[in-house]
Amino acid sequence: MAYGKDDPRSKLVTNSRDENNSGGSATPASYGLYYKDTPVDDDANGKAWYTRGQDLLVNYIEAAPGATFSRTGQVDEYMIVVADEDTPYEVSAQHGVNGPETKTGPGHQVIIVPPGDSSVTFPKGGRVVRLFSTQSEDLNEKCANKDVYATRDRNIPEFQRWPDPVDGFKLRVYDLWKERVPGKFGPIWRCTTIMLNFPPPGNGPRDITKMSPHSHADFDQCSLVMAGSFLHNMRWPWGLDKNEWVPDEFPITEAPSATIIPARVIHSSESLHRTNNRMADIFAPPRLDFSLLEGWIQNHDEYPLPEGYSMPVKEKADA
């Protein structure tokens, strides 16, 4: 990995799983280009697209006024991202620790929804993204790129959700940030299934003298573009099997779109528009390396770390 000394990720310590000694990846990058792909759903609720990675599923929706989107018997937690302001909603869940509950909001928020029955309604319509694990087969079948994952990526272990929240499953609502904080990475939220890193909009094209080429040994990444456009620089490692060697890829994706970057693929993305570039990075299950850094996860106190891990203890300064 190559991070600049002023990049907060330079502090990461990653315990990489490297049981696969082939050194390469047989999984291609995959894309949901919602600005030009034909929607999977096109009905009175609006238009919806579905794109998956190995363990993450992105459901991008352009909701019509009054649209309602429901889940019945949902197997695990999921997230709803209402990225735009002035996008009011009402979300309900039936099986949380508090019993049936309903919350409303103005938009520009992320919502964590408990397992079981739930629904969300948008009186004025608008853009919404639902983020699921791929443990819901009915949603997997809707994904335009499902054939990419007909065979599991050998670099990624079987999905395991993280421990239950300390105060039980319930609706949780968080405000998205409106401005970037110097020296801060994120903000980042996590639940038992998903981690969302969703910074506020950025200015101007990226400084190409400060790139951050890196790869993830045992998980893939979704880069969800919600504003502007991004160039995704990607390089597949040369493994033992030359049949799997592929050329570098440099796709440019506009908003809205999702790019799935496979495990082991070296990548670094560049914002391109002069203003208002906005991209979220999403992982399933949550990333341990991010979670072990103090102050990185906004709701860290609500969700325990996996068994065997704890936050590093700060050393006390000499009196």
pTM of this structure: 0.92
pLDDT in single tens digits along all 319 residues of the chain: 544 566 676 666 554 444 555 779 999 999 999 999 999 999 999 999 999 999 999 999 999 999 999 999 999 999 999 999 999 999 999 999 989 999 999 999 999 999 999 999 999 999 999 999 999 999 999 999 999 999 999 999 999 999 999 999 999 999 999 998 888 889 999 999 999 999 999 888 999 999 999 999 999 999 999 999 999 999 999 999 999 999 999 999 999 999 999 999 999 999 999 999 999 999 999 999 999 999 999 999 999 999 999 987 554 433 3
Which amino acid, residue 100? P
Give pLDDT tens digits for 231-274: 999 999 999 999 999 999 999 999 999 999 999 999 999 999 99
User: From residue 194, how far is each of 76, 178, 218, 242, 285 by CA, in Å?
Assistant: 10, 22, 15, 34, 5
Task: Dump pLDDT digits (tens) for 119-153.
Answer: 999 999 999 999 999 999 999 999 999 999 999 99
- Nearest one of 116, 291, 51 to 188, comparing CA atoms: 291
Residue 170 DSSP label = -
- Alpha-carbon distance 175 to 178, whole Å? 9
In the chain, what are the domain boundaries?
8-298
Fold held by 8-298: Jelly Rolls (2.60.120)
Q: Report helix, strand or coil for 301.
A: helix
